[in-house]
Homo-oligomer: A and B are copies of this chain.
Amino acid sequence: MNLNHLFLFRAVAEAGGFSRAAEQIHVSQPAISMQVGELEAQLGLALFHRLGRGVKLTAAGKLLLGYAQRLGALAVDAEQAMAEVKGLRRGHLAIGASTTIGVYLLPDLLGEYRRRYPDIDLQFDIANTEDIERRLVDGTLDAGLTEGLPPDRRELETVVFLRDQLVPIARPDHPRLKCGRKPLTLRQFCAEPMIVREAGSGTREVIDRALAKRGQKFQRPPLILGSTEAIKRAVAAGLGVAIVSHLTIQTELAAGQLAILPLAGFQLTRPLHRLCWRNRERDPAAVAFLGLLDERYPPHVQS
């Protein structure tokens, strides 16, 4: 007994005859005779009275018809659910991101995602690289976006999707920003009052390494603040200069609260990584997210 047997049986029952059913579902009449006959043989029960003029359900047939209808409807539901998943009208997407990306980049991206696929259930967590990695492996995340060093897990694919520029910022009325002034040298910049994140922060490490590489260091003890927002506010308040991700200051630049300080020959970037399973099938919801990411930030495969 399979769905096709039941489908044909149901067609006959609802059409009131083998020939009529055959017409309606575009199969030959003997095909139906055989299938229904086989079904009856398997069950050991007559399902139809053959009246000579059409057919009529037996008691067993009436009973089976109920099951056939329910089975048919359930099968249709199942296929529809699958079609919805495939067509991104149903599903779930869980993304993990580190702080900067999570705060300054993902909301926009997920807003666009929601606009395109409003029926996908979205989940979005900010966590550290280690947690994201773990949750990718155990399957609770579909993709992760991190600014930290790429993990060396072979099962995860790491793609640099964006090079984040770390830029020096100052209050817009900083003397060096008067028109006509030349860019600062790195040495001059290091002599400014500096505001930085605590040691151990990803951004701080990048900055320290870059300065060390160029043989420079802060010339005064820096002001240490625990969040990028705090640093931006402190710079805007005139407490000093800082180096922050370009991503984080779009609003303040537009509002004239902060300005980028030109620094001669200084270019500092860090890679932002997109993490997901390497050789694993991805749900359409995840594929669409990665596609959207690639669309906004054309990728460079790294490993």
Assess the A283–B85 pair: CB atoms within 8 A.
no
What are 22 pairs between A and B in contact, CB < 8 Å? A1-B75, A1-B79, A3-B3, A45-B82, A45-B85, A46-B281, A46-B282, A49-B281, A50-B280, A58-B283, A59-B85, A59-B283, A63-B81, A63-B82, A63-B85, A64-B81, A64-B82, A67-B75, A67-B78, A70-B74, A71-B75, A74-B74
| Complex: A50 Cα to B279 Cα, angstroms | 9
| Complex: A85 Cα to B67 Cα, angstroms | 14
Contact A280-B75, Cβ < 8 Å, known A44-B86, A63-B81, A85-B59: no
| Complex: A177 Cα to B79 Cα, angstroms | 84
A217 at the B interface (CB under 8 A): no
A303 at the B interface (CB under 8 A): no
Chain B residue contacts of A64, Cβ below 8 A: 78, 81-82
Report A75-92 residues with CB < 8 Å from chain B CB: 75, 77-79, 81-83, 85-86, 91-92
Give chain A's interface secondary structure class.
helix
A43 at the B interface (CB under 8 A): yes
Interface bracket on A:
35 or more
Q: Contact check: which of B71, B82, B277 meets A71 at CB < 8 Å?
A: B71
Chain B residue contacts of A48, Cβ below 8 A: 281
A148 at the B interface (CB under 8 A): no
A4 at the B interface (CB under 8 A): yes
Report A267-286 residues with CB < 8 Å from chain B CB: 277, 280-285
A302 at the B interface (CB under 8 A): no
Instruction: Give residues in A with beta carbon < 8 Å to B.
Output: 1-4, 6, 43-46, 48-51, 56, 58-60, 63-64, 67-68, 70-71, 74-75, 77-79, 81-83, 85-86, 91-92, 139, 277, 280-285
Chain B residue contacts of A58, Cβ below 8 A: 281, 283
| Complex: A43 Cα to B80 Cα, angstroms | 10
| Complex: A82 Cα to B281 Cα, angstroms | 41
Interface-central residue, A2, A3, A49, A281, by most chain B CB under 10 Å: A281
Chain B residue contacts of A44, Cβ below 8 A: 86
A89 to chain B, nearest CB (A): 13
| Complex: A161 Cα to B282 Cα, angstroms | 73
| Complex: A27 Cα to B92 Cα, angstroms | 34
Find the B residue at minimum CB distance from A74. Answer: B71
Find the B residue at minimum CB distance from A283. Answer: B59
Find the B residue at minimum CB distance from A87. Answer: B44
Find the B residue at minimum CB distance from A82. Answer: B43
Find the B residue at minimum CB distance from A78. Answer: B67
Q: Contact check: which of B60, B78, B82, B139 meets A82 at CB < 8 Å?
A: B60
A8 to chain B, nearest CB (A): 12
| Complex: A277 Cα to B281 Cα, angstroms | 61
| Complex: A67 Cα to B73 Cα, angstroms | 11
Chain B residue contacts of A59, Cβ below 8 A: 85, 91-92, 283, 285
Assess the A86–B283 pair: CB atoms within 8 A.
no
